[in-house]
Structure formats: C-alpha cells, structure tokens
Chains A and B, each alone.
Chain A
Amino acid sequence: MKIPSSLREKKRYVIFDMLSDGKKIRERDLMDAIRSSGTSLIGSFGMSLCNMRMIKLNGRRGILRCSRGGLNKVRAVLTMVNNINGERVAIDIISVSGSIKKATHKYFKDKKR
C-alpha cells in the first residue's frame, strides 16, 4: 500500500567513491562490510534508524540511500569501513543529494538508474 508523500520518511542519497587497489568490489560484499562496521559502531538499533540501502554501484562510485535523520551516522559508519573481503579500502563521501535523479545526473555519466 502506498503512503502519501507527505507522510513518507525523508531520505538522502549519499554519493561515494571507493579507494581500493584495483580489484572489483561486488555490491553485496560492500553492503556486508557496511552492515558489519555499522553494527559494531552504532548497533542494530542505530542501523535500523539509518535505513540504509544501496541504490547503485558503478565501479568504484555508488549511491547509498539513507534516512535524513541518520545522515551523520551513515557518514561515521562509512568512515569506519576499511576492509572488504581482505582488501583494504577507504570510502570517501563526495556529496549528498535529495533525489536520485540529481545524484545520477551529476555524478554518473550513463544517467540511467
């Protein structure tokens, strides 16, 4: 069932870049790493408030959806990610957007979701 847009939770789209040594990183592995570091940092309850979901991952750049209130926590969680499947990584948040359309248009060349 659809909720009216005024009652829906406000969201933010975090555009990030991954710094790694070149090996391709799968979306699932990245999300596992984020969940694991998030749970150890802010706990399951904190993670549930952040309401994170991966929207897109194109090579090293991606879009992560989160709730507006949990944006700062998401920043902290992404800062804590340092290892994905034994490979060292660092996540750099490039920008935060209010809509997928703007985020895709500005930071992805293919402009498709």
Chain B
Amino acid sequence: MGFYDCISYKGKENTQEMLLLLKRYGFAGAIVLFKDDIVDEKIFESMILPREFKVFSGIEIFADSLSNLKKKVYRFRRRGDLLAVHGGNDKIDRMASREKEINLVRHTEGGHGIDHITARFAAENGVAMDFCLTALIYSRTSMPAIIGKMRRNLILMRKYKTPMILSTGGEDKFDLRPPRQMMALSELFGMTREESLRSLEMPLDIVDKNRRHKEGRLIRDGVETVR
C-alpha cells in the first residue's frame, strides 16, 4: 500500500521540491493541504510531479469559532480529496470530531490535548486524529509537555479505536523526515510499530473512502454498491 504524508501548501516551487524529496524518502504519495483561503486544486496540472507518486489535494480549515467552523465545513465539504481542520483548541477539536464531513483533525497536541469524549465522537464519526511531528521537532521549550499530550491522546485513541495518522505536517523541505525516522520518533510517545505503520498508510484509506462516497458507490458505512 505504501506510506503517505500530509504536507501544507506554501508556494508552487516549494511544494514541488517537497514532493520530490518525499519520493526520495520512500513515500508512495502525499496529501497536499491547502489553507482555506488559497484553495487551488488545479495547481498540480502545472507542476512537475515525481513518477509513480500519488498526489492528492486536501483543504485545511482554520476556524476561530464554532460558527465559523460550521460555515467553512459547509462551504468546502464537497471539494478536495480530504477535509482537515486545524485543531489545537479544545472546543474546535470537540466540534470537529462530531462532524461526519470532516476527515482529519490536525495539531491535537495543542490546547489541553483531546479528552475521552472527543476521542469517542471521533471514533464514532470516522474522524482521524493527526500526530504532527513538526510540532515536536520545532518545540524547544515545551517538548516534555507535547510528548506528554501526544502520549495521553494516543492512550485515548487506542481505547476508543479512533483512526490516527502520523505525518510530518511539513511546510518546507527541512520539515520532512523519512518514514523509518518518523516511526522511531513515534515510539517515544508510546506508539507500537504496527500502529505507526497503520497510521502512515491511513491517509490513502481516507482518500479512497471519500472518492467512493463522492462517486456514489459508498452509500453509508457498511453499505456499498458493488456493481
């Protein structure tokens, strides 16, 4: 199946460079997340993309209030291959985990981390939680706190079987890391080898499910038109 990384879009050349590096690191593909005010899914047509490397587009919603989040989810729900929310705020995380249209909540290590209710809602609605390693790599002052939150989040996600994603969350080429190094780092906050392998493959599952849903093949969870 291969490993997939979630990266943020910061200019055409920068993204192109990152995609080439991800290919060199052994990833099978990447999901490029656009900020909600600069969504341009057709930009890939003018890019030189690596061969045998799948690139998907996603939208990352930045919301400062719950009403704003609802509005943006309604606006972007049919666009892109994946809909993500920039979390880090307890209320936003909780609200995002209750929305079935949302696929991914990023930066859950911000704020107080997630609680058992958020983890349960996310598991029920199929919302994945992201472990962004750049938050850990670039935190000089509060590294123990971030590792602690990630560890607590992981325990809750494991209990409620919430889907999880391991990604670099990179914005330029220096933020990217090879999959094996990502797995080594995830081991520090308690992820097992099987969990980290599963979380590196998870983005493709989400994109695949979304595509089937958009094409009308997937009617709801467990009900699918085969022919």
Contact = CB atoms under 8 A, between A and B. Distances in A.
Interface string A40-52: 1110000000000
Contacts of A90: 173-177
Interface in B1-51: 21, 25
B174 A75 contact: no
A88 to B, nearest CB: 5
B178 A92 contact: yes
B140 interface: yes
Given A40-B140, A92-B25, A79 B174 contact: no
A19 interface: yes
Contacts of B184: 72-73, 75-76, 79
| A interface bracket (residues with beta carbon within 8 Å of B) | 10 to 19
A78 interface: yes
B181 A93 contact: yes
B181 A82 contact: no
A60 to B, nearest CB: 14
B66 interface: no
A73 B181 CA distance: 10
A36 to B, nearest CB: 10
A52 B8 CA distance: 34
21 contacts: A19-B21, A19-B174, A41-B143, A41-B188, A72-B187, A73-B184, A75-B184, A76-B184, A76-B187, A76-B188, A79-B182, A79-B184, A80-B137, A80-B185, A82-B138, A82-B174, A90-B174, A90-B176, A92-B25, A92-B178, A93-B181
Interface of B: 21, 25, 133, 136-138, 140, 143, 173-178, 180-182, 184-185, 187-188
Interface of A: 19, 40-42, 72-73, 75-76, 78-80, 82, 88-90, 92-93
